[in-house]
Chains A and B, each alone.
Chain A
């Protein structure tokens, strides 16, 4: 069974540009979450999607947005990039059926974004 797939693996952008990251969850998983990881701030929750609806959002500016498609694949977009947006962006999926045991998060390898 394939794991969570994130593309691209690495990305270099300049300030002011925008970027779109992609995440394909494990087959059968309906919930997709996004996290930003930096050495100074650790893993910070961005948002979570279930059935194409954003259920929860972290404390990030509106430049960070996302969406989920009917096949559960998700994308996140960052507009007007800033130097501080350089980070490892991680996507995680869970089966989410309402039972606690199906709410474990499984992570992809991440997209390393560098903003110059």
Chain B
């Protein structure tokens, strides 16, 4: 099935470090969403982006809608152990298809 390219696939970081991940698409999107998923649970929405160049924060999380509309970025500042999980991006084109395409996920592990 169709998926967005998300990188890195996984990362181990020390508590307190900043984290960056990104998502790229071959298609233009009108909406980007970022989610966090804990094991055995559904994804939880972190940030939603609707305009090219938009920069939105949610606590220590900041996400940006790329100006080409084909990519998006998520940054986590001063990571803490509870940031552990899988982060997914999701994009949707404005072509009336009503479906989101999800990234392959970034697995984050924080070392205390």
**Residue of A4, A50, A109 with highest tally of chain B CB at under 10 A:** A109
- Interface 9-mer from A14-22, A36-44, A67-75, A77-85: A36-44
A101 x B48 contact (CB < 8 A): yes
CB within 8 Å for A42 and B42 given contacts A59-B1, A101-B50, A104-B33: no
Q: For chain B residues 45-73, which have a beta carbon within 8 Å of chain A?
A: 45, 48, 50
Alpha-carbon separation in the docked complex, A43 to B100 (Å): 10
- Whether A107 pairs with B44 at a CB distance below 8 angstroms is yes
A31 to B45, CA, bound (A): 16
In the complex, the 7 A-B pairs of residues with the closest C-beta atoms, listed nearest first: A107-B42, A43-B102, A44-B1, A100-B50, A56-B98, A45-B99, A109-B42
- When the two chains form their complex, are residues B98 and A48 in contact, meaning their CB atoms are under 8 A apart? yes
- Asked whether, in the complex, the Cβ of A45 is within 8 Å of the Cβ of B100, the reply is yes
Q: How far is the CA of A109 from the CA of B41 in the complex (A)?
A: 5
Interchain CB contact under 8 A, A90 and B98: no
The answer, yes or no, to whether A63 is at the interface (CB within 8 Å) is no
Q: How large is the interface on A (under 10, 10 to 19, 20 to 34, 35 or more residues)?
A: 20 to 34
In the assembled complex, 5 residue pairs joining A and B whose CB atoms fall closer than 8 Å, in A order, are A100-B31, A100-B50, A105-B100, A107-B43, A107-B44
A14 to chain B, nearest CB (A): 22
Known A-B contacts A41-B1, A90-B43; the reply to A105 vs B98 at CB < 8 A is no
Residue of B31, B92, B98, B105 with most chain A CB atoms under a 10 A cut-off: B98
Other A-B contacts than A31-B98, A105-B45, 7 sampled, CB-CB below 8 A, are A4-B42, A41-B1, A45-B99, A59-B1, A90-B43, A106-B45, A107-B42
Contacts A48-B99, A56-B99, A104-B48 given; does A43 touch B88 at CB 8 Å: yes
Within the complex, the shortest CB–CB distance from B96 to chain A, in Å, comes to 9
Q: In the complex, what distance in Å separates the CA atom of A88 from the CA atom of B41?
A: 9
Question: CA–CA, A88 to B90, complex, Å?
Answer: 18
Q: Does B25 contact A (CB under 8 A)?
A: no
Task: Tell me how far the C-beta of A55 lies from the nearest C-beta in chain B, rounded to whole angstroms.
Answer: 5
Instruction: Looking at the assembled complex, report how far the CB atom of A107 sits from the nearest CB atom of chain B, in whole angstroms.
Output: 4
Which of B92-112 touch A at CB < 8 Å? 92, 97-105
